[in-house]
Amino acid sequence: MTNAAFKLEDSGFSREQVDALSEFMDGSVATKADIAELSGEIKEVRGELKAQGERLDGKITAEIAELSGEIKEVRGELKADIAELSGEIKAQGERLDGEIKAIRTELSGEIKSVRTELIGKINLLYWMLGVSVAGIVSLVIKTFTTS
């Protein structure tokens, strides 16, 4: 019996109560061997977890490198596609500029010819109006002077 058990008996506990408490405590208290065993198991589990973490880190690093390569490849393809489309757009723009200039030139020529034709018709109308006015004026003068 330990010194603490004697103190319990001196305090008024019976021998059976002290023995029961002692048996309970012996079954409940962890020994140094128990703690050492658990410590070993904890170290083992910790080592396994560390190894798993390192394997996962390696896998993740490899997947990141693979994805990075794929991203670079796709980026290169997109740059090539963009460059090709830029060239096509530029060529289409130049073609449309040429067509617009040709249409402007053609319309300018047609506008000039229509303008010349209209000016000629207007001049003809002025002459016809002038001749008609002169004829009417001569008839009016003849009417008032012959009588």
pLDDT per position as a tens digit, 77-120: 999 999 999 999 999 999 999 999 999 999 999 999 999 999 99
pLDDT at 71: 93
Distance CA 21, CA 27 (A): 10
Confidence check: pLDDT of 1 > 60:
no
pLDDT at 119: 95
Distance CA 128, CA 73 (A): 81
pLDDT at 29: 65
- Is pLDDT larger for residue 11 or for residue 39? 39
Report percent pLDDT > 70 for the chain. Answer: 90
Distance CA 98, CA 90 (A): 12
Distance CA 109, CA 97 (A): 18
pLDDT at 2: 63
User: Average pLDDT, whole number, for the chain?
Assistant: 86
pLDDT at 147: 59
